[in-house]
Chains A and B, each alone.
Chain A
């Protein structure tokens, strides 16, 4: 069964460093999303992406964040200068464009720890 994959599974970085989180959505999906979840808390929407541009973004998704679809398969989230409060689990999700099949499929997540 097709699935969303994410790399790396864990990343430790120093405050102020740039990180790039990678996602490979399901191949025929056209809507892509990034979420984060601080340990023990709710899932927070970061950004949605369709047709090679951002559809919506949350207040969390400030100038330090960017997304890119550099090729036909990868979808990346970049944090330019990490802060301690960026430590969280980051999930990528994707869904198809087909009506009646709106399920979002989540990847396994990347656990980011900023020291």
Chain B
């Protein structure tokens, strides 16, 4: 059974600091997604990671994938208040997609 664990679930951090969100999953996968969700809104796709060693960056966010360790990370560099949101990872295996519980990120000005 595919399980996805995200940590931390809550993160409060100062602007300008760096931090990493971790996503562990239990079986092999076809794709790994990272999404952002603002309160009351839909999900915004951030990254899709397909292969071992994949690294993608967009602005202050960088995602990586280690399929051997079954681990993906979302790294935030020099956080700014606008990045406050809930971040979800999701793992796709044979078109069945399991989400982590999400990391609620609060960036203090």
Partner-B contacts on A (CB < 8 A): 31, 33, 35, 41-45, 48, 50, 55-56, 58, 91, 93, 102-109
Contacts and interface: CB of A to CB of B under 8 A. Distances in A.
A107 B42 CA distance: 7
B95 A106 contact: no
Contacts of B97: 33, 35, 45, 48, 104
Interface residues of B, number: 21
Contact of A106 (B43, B96, B98): B43
Given A42-B99, A45-B96, A102 B43 contact: no
B33 A104 contact: yes
Contacts of B33: 104
Given A58-B96, A103-B45, A106-B42, A42 B101 contact: yes
Nearest to A58: B96
B99 A44 contact: yes
B45 A45 contact: no
A43 B45 CA distance: 14
Nearest to A103: B45
B96 A56 contact: yes
A43 B90 contact: yes
